[in-house]
Amino acid sequence: MTNFSVSDRLLAGVIAAVLIHICTLSPVAGQSADLKKDAIAIDSIYDEALVNGRCYSWLERLCLDVGHRLSGSKNAEKAVTWTKSVLDTMQLDSVWLQPCMVPHWERGASEEVRLYLKGTKPAVLQALALGGSVATPAGGIRAEVVEVRSWEALDSLGEKGLRGKIVFYNRPMDPTKIRTFEAYGGCVDQRVTGASRAAKYGAVAVLVRSMNLKIDDFPHTGSVIYDSAYTRIPAAAISTKAAETLSAAIKEQIKPEVSVRMSCQTLPDAPSYNVIGEIRGSEYPGRFITMGGHLDSWDVGHGAHDDGAGIVQCMDALRLLQRIGYKPRNTIRFVAFMNEENGLRGGKEYAREAIRKGETHVFAIESDAGGFTPRALTFESADPAFDDKFQQIRGWETVFESYGIRINKGGSGADVSPLRPTHAVLSGYSPDSQRYFDFHHTADDTFDKVHRRELELGAATIAGIVYLMDRYMR
Amino acid sequence: MTNFSVSDRLLAGVIAAVLIHICTLSPVAGQSADLKKDAIAIDSIYDEALVNGRCYSWLERLCLDVGHRLSGSKNAEKAVTWTKSVLDTMQLDSVWLQPCMVPHWERGASEEVRLYLKGTKPAVLQALALGGSVATPAGGIRAEVVEVRSWEALDSLGEKGLRGKIVFYNRPMDPTKIRTFEAYGGCVDQRVTGASRAAKYGAVAVLVRSMNLKIDDFPHTGSVIYDSAYTRIPAAAISTKAAETLSAAIKEQIKPEVSVRMSCQTLPDAPSYNVIGEIRGSEYPGRFITMGGHLDSWDVGHGAHDDGAGIVQCMDALRLLQRIGYKPRNTIRFVAFMNEENGLRGGKEYAREAIRKGETHVFAIESDAGGFTPRALTFESADPAFDDKFQQIRGWETVFESYGIRINKGGSGADVSPLRPTHAVLSGYSPDSQRYFDFHHTADDTFDKVHRRELELGAATIAGIVYLMDRYMR
């Protein structure tokens, strides 16, 4: 794109801005004269985020100084300390650690998957043990590998076809889903439940195709959950490239073998913490608005998009509200939840404590879908009056439209979901999803994959909706 | 994000999909029963793009086999040949080259900008000559450098402050603009007109801060346009990092000097071509719908986002319409326009020829804003009946909503803009703009910066709007 139409573009831009201004404010003014002022306040939040945003430099520190931070690890401890130290500089009314016990799984030093083809040297398949997997015997497991793409195919192979074998789950993400989370939802069952469903038929290990829409060599880890009715067998993810290689080998050759060697282990539960900071409400200190992400990550890469981004965005959202001089009516909390990835202990503990203390939660929002350009905010609630509340929230869409953000009904986030019984309105921050599964749970989820402006726009969006919920939601 | 809420997410996804389905189809059905079928057809276009899209592999070939391709260069010739060779495989009704003469500017081997600070060795400032710039004398120019951030500042320095000096334009892009093209529009005048406005006061060269929202070391080139009333003086862009360095040096030190050495030259105009392929209309072969991008690029990087992306998306859009078995009513053309970057000769020639032949152009769309996730389609026209037409187009927004795409009034594209006098409806493909100016006109605008799915979604979006315009626009 060149400069020849600059004046046209500029003019078009000015006209567009004026139109947006008119469109944004007119219908809103009909609903509430105040919303005009609110639109201006929210604009100043975005300006501050884009000019003086802290989230990006905070993310750099979290990624480069702490790094990945699986629950129970030394790095998770460091992350707790780091997060509290940042909150301590923010002149909040209160900062504290909320204890919770977390699972403690370690990958171990030895991890290797090899493919044995007749007449060639064994080839390494890029692999990561799934979180929670048991280890193999020290010498590993070597067996024939059988590919399945559906539960029906697994069941029809049955014990006869699977006993003593390694099952390779190779159902890919559906590329036709525009929202990639739907494609993820359509195949993650293989990773979560595949080990036990194969063990039921006597399989000795499972390999799972990574949840990735690209063909590349990064294996994507994530949790396996064992069904206690069956033997716990080792489970690993292999990269999509390795999956293609393995699938081709199975097609070309009768009974190729694979070896799997992993030394991971589950240790006793470890003490850890949610990290919480709050600004006390000026009118309703006993009513709460919570915003957060999860501080833990998988044990590879930096956990930059998942979910360092959510942590620093919500922390910056709190700062943005301070910076525009906003005095919240309700108490506003930032919560860095611990252990979303393999237990949700932090999210559950936060809700348990809130319910025990009789805290009224008006609203809780989670950012845990990556640090990409904001596209939508989604809302849900167990409140029988939610439809009316959602109509009210939808009335604010005109404010968010100039930032390209829609207001939809939809899911919130794993960590805030235990607050559902309180009838709080729950929300999920929903950025563009096209790139998320390039990085999710991989060694490639590093700081350099996060775009500064995209991250900052998210912080401003979260601050904006918290501002409106605080002012108007009863 | 983890797996613990998979079933919830899945359920939410299904519910959302059903809701979208209802929302998409109901209001539309009221307008036209056919639009239900259209929504299904367009869905099959997206499916085909995401499963079997060609645009990404075509872009790889254009970037890696041809590379950058400034008008008049050998590479531009190669790009013409390559594009025609792809169109020749597509079983179109007609493929041809439309001749046009284009400017021929060459960068030359020697290009260096240095900063001289007292007591230290001269430091290299990362720089690129602006396209169309004159050369310096072989030994370069060395002079005191003066920073200005506004035209008012330039004018108030005047001849007294500027004669014999090098002017450094350092007005940055405004980070608070959500749409980065607005921020670009707010400072590109320095690059386009800065040389002559400084020459008016006797300056000997100009340096321009790159049009970039990041601080990095990639200079961004682009056109300078000289005013014939003043001496043509050499003009170069320096990286934003170099701009910060230079600005700091000017603040810290009295009268720092800069040297500029460039050996670029303007050669006689060269013959070149628009590359055109068309599918003849089954009902109205004499009515035309045009979609395209520009085949030329700046002479650094791959011209991947600018505008290889637009070329391969529109070429793939033509193929997508073929693949779903669509028989267009009007004649549909793909046009690879030549010379958008420094002359617009291709776009002008295409319109001149269309007007000369009395071709009725119903619609023309351009993709020249990068290969990022689609966000909107914008429409404009000189047709006095455009408001009615736009209402009709807006009625289709429900179809595009499930892909996250808005329908707005707004600018189209430089290459299609010469068709304005024909009263055609003109449209611009408008993807997410946050990353575009990271790469625009730089050595970093390379194939690996383009995301496959984002690119493919754009091809489908263009095919979708062309499909609807072809069916319904009269």
DSSP codes joined into one string, B322-342 = HHTT---SEEEEEEEES-TTT
- Residues of chain B contacting residue A178, judged by C-beta atoms under 8 Å apart: 46, 402-404, 457
| Residue in this structure with the two tokens 């194939």, named with its chain if needed | B447
Kindly state the average pLDDT of the residues A381-389: 97
Is B185's CB within 8 Å of A454's CB? no
Minimum CA–CA partner of B187 in chain A: A6
Q: Which of A3, A299, A451 to mutate to test the interface with B (most CBs of B within 10 A)?
A: A3
Assigned architecture for domain A25-105+268-472: 3-Layer(aba) Sandwich (3.40)
Residue type, A80: V
Is B50's CB within 8 Å of A176's CB? yes
The tens digit of pLDDT for each residue in B183-197 reads: 999 999 999 999 999
Residue A18 has pLDDT above 70, yes or no: no
Q: How many angstroms separate the Cα of B193 from the Cα of each of A10, A179, A463? A: 15, 44, 40
Burial label for B231, CB within 10 Å (0-12, 13-18, 19+), is: middle
- Residues of chain B contacting residue A429, judged by C-beta atoms under 8 Å apart: none
Query: What pLDDT score does A50 carry?
Result: 98
Contact A318, A277 (CB under 8 A): yes
Minimum CA–CA partner of A401 in chain B: B406
Burial label for A269, CB within 10 Å (0-12, 13-18, 19+), is: middle
Residue A14 has pLDDT above 80, yes or no: no
User: Catalytic: B77?
Assistant: no
- pLDDT category of residue B255 using cuts at 50, 70 and 90: confident
Query: What pLDDT score does B29 carry?
Result: 36
Backbone angles phi, psi at A225, to 5 degrees: -120, 120
Q: How many angstroms separate the Cα of A129 from the Cα of each of A261, A270, B182, B213, B306? A: 9, 21, 47, 40, 41
Query: What pLDDT score does B12 carry?
Result: 39
A158 in the Ramachandran plot: left (φ > 0), alpha (ψ -120 to 50) or beta? left
When CB atoms are compared, the residue of A176, A373, A411 closest to B12 is A411
Q: What pTM, to 2 d.p., does this model score?
A: 0.93
Q: Which CATH superfamily is domain B26-104+268-472 in?
A: Zn peptidases (3.40.630.10)
Backbone angles phi, psi at A126, to 5 degrees: -60, 120
Separation CA B53–CA B453 (nearest Å):
9
Burial label for A202, CB within 10 Å (0-12, 13-18, 19+), is: middle
Please tell me the total number of residues recorded for chain A in this structure: 474
Residue B327 has pLDDT above 70, yes or no: yes
- pLDDT category of residue A31 using cuts at 50, 70 and 90: low
Contact A67, A75 (CB under 8 A): yes
Give the pair of three-digit tokens for residue B462. 């263009």
Separation CA B461–CA B428 (nearest Å):
11
The tens digit of pLDDT for each residue in B266-314 reads: 999 999 999 999 999 999 999 999 999 999 999 999 999 999 999 999 9
Burial label for B80, CB within 10 Å (0-12, 13-18, 19+), is: buried
Kindly state the average pLDDT of the residues A85-105: 98
Minimum CA–CA partner of B296 in chain A: A1
Give the pair of three-digit tokens for residue B54. 């060609």
Name the helix (H) or strand (E) containing B243: helix B240-252
Give the pair of three-digit tokens for residue B58. 């075509």
Domain ranges of chain B: 26-104+268-472, 108-263
Residues 6+ apart with CB under 8 A from B293: B307, B308, B309, B310, B311, B313, B314, B336, B337, B366, B367, B368, B413, B415
Contact A468, A425 (CB under 8 A): no
Whether residue B307 is preceded by a cis peptide bond, meaning omega within 30 degrees of 0, is: yes
* Between residues B241 and A10, the one the model is more confident about: B241
Q: Which of B3, B7, B294, B394 to mutate to test the interface with A (most CBs of A within 10 A)?
A: B3
| Residue in this structure with the two tokens 């990064």, named with its chain if needed | A218
- pLDDT category of residue B34 using cuts at 50, 70 and 90: confident
Query: What pLDDT score does A3 carry?
Result: 43
Separation CA A224–CA A192 (nearest Å):
4
> What b/e string do you get for B327-361 counting C-beta neighbours within 10 Å, with b at 16 or more?
ebbbbbbbbbbbbbbbbbbbbbbbbeebeeeebeb
Query: What pLDDT score does A380 carry?
Result: 98
Give the distance from CA B354 to its chain's centroid.
23
- pLDDT category of residue B35 using cuts at 50, 70 and 90: confident
Minimum CA–CA partner of B440 in chain A: A1
Minimum CA–CA partner of B2 in chain A: A341
Contact B363, B424 (CB under 8 A): yes
Is B417's CB within 8 Å of A5's CB? yes
Residues 6+ apart with CB under 8 A from B7: none
Active site residues of A: 340
Question: Beta-carbon neighbour count of residue A22 at 10 Å?
Answer: 10
Q: What percent of chain B has pLDDT over 70?
A: 93
- Residues of chain A contacting residue B6, judged by C-beta atoms under 8 Å apart: 185, 188-189, 192
From the list B419, B366, B177, the residue with the least C-alpha distance to A14 is: B177
Backbone angles phi, psi at B261, to 5 degrees: -135, 120
Give the pair of three-digit tokens for residue A216. 């590349």
Q: What angle do CA A49, A52, A58 make, to 5 degrees?
A: 85
| Residue in this structure with the two tokens 């048991």, named with its chain if needed | A134
Q: What is the mean pLDDT of chain A?
A: 93
Backbone angles phi, psi at B210, to 5 degrees: -60, 145
Residue A10 has pLDDT above 50, yes or no: no
Helix (H, G, I), strand (E, B) or coil at B145: strand
Query: What pLDDT score does B406 carry?
Result: 97
The tens digit of pLDDT for each residue in A40-50 reads: 999 999 999 99
Query: What pLDDT score does A16 carry?
Result: 38
Residue B14 has pLDDT above 70, yes or no: no
Helix (H, G, I), strand (E, B) or coil at A16: helix
- Residues of chain B contacting residue A9, judged by C-beta atoms under 8 Å apart: 181, 185, 411
Cα atoms in the Cβ-side hemisphere of radius 13 Å centred on B395: 22
Separation CA A18–CA A13 (nearest Å):
9
Which residue out of B60, B257, B278, B340 is catalytically annotated? B340
When CB atoms are compared, the residue of B51, B375, B451 closest to A404 is B375
- Give the ipTM of the model, two decimals please: 0.92
- pLDDT category of residue A9 using cuts at 50, 70 and 90: very low
Give the CATH fold of the A108-263 domain: Glucose Oxidase; domain 1 (3.50.30)
Which of A2-16, A323-337, B232-246 comes out lowest in average pLDDT? A2-16
Separation CA A13–CA B234 (nearest Å):
31
Is B404's CB within 8 Å of A178's CB? yes
Give the pair of three-digit tokens for residue A262. 């992993």
Question: Beta-carbon neighbour count of residue A253 at 10 Å?
Answer: 13
Kindly state the average pLDDT of the residues A110-114: 95
Separation CA A130–CA A190 (nearest Å):
12
Is A2's CB within 8 Å of B341's CB? yes
Q: How many angstroms separate the Cα of A34 from the Cα of each of A26, A30, A419, B182? A: 12, 10, 30, 28
Separation CA B376–CA B406 (nearest Å):
4
Question: Beta-carbon neighbour count of residue B247 at 10 Å?
Answer: 16
- Residues of chain A contacting residue B192, judged by C-beta atoms under 8 Å apart: 3, 6
Whether residue A432 is preceded by a cis peptide bond, meaning omega within 30 degrees of 0, is: no
Which strands sit side by side in the sheet containing B425-431, from one edge to the other?
B94-106, B265-279, B330-337, B284-294, B360-366, B425-431, B374-380, B406-409
- Residues of chain B contacting residue A10, judged by C-beta atoms under 8 Å apart: 182, 185-186
CA dihedral A399, A400, A402, A408 (to 10 degrees): -130
- pLDDT category of residue A474 using cuts at 50, 70 and 90: confident
Is B435's CB within 8 Å of A451's CB? yes
Angstroms from B287 CA to nearest CA on chain A:
27
Backbone angles phi, psi at B169, to 5 degrees: -85, 120
Give the pair of three-digit tokens for residue B40. 């299904």
- pLDDT category of residue A1 using cuts at 50, 70 and 90: low
- pLDDT category of residue B5 using cuts at 50, 70 and 90: very low
From the list B115, B156, B121, B438, the residue with the least C-alpha distance to B248 is: B115
Separation CA A293–CA A314 (nearest Å):
7
The tens digit of pLDDT for each residue in B99-140 reads: 999 999 999 998 999 999 988 899 999 999 999 999 999 999
- pLDDT category of residue B253 using cuts at 50, 70 and 90: confident
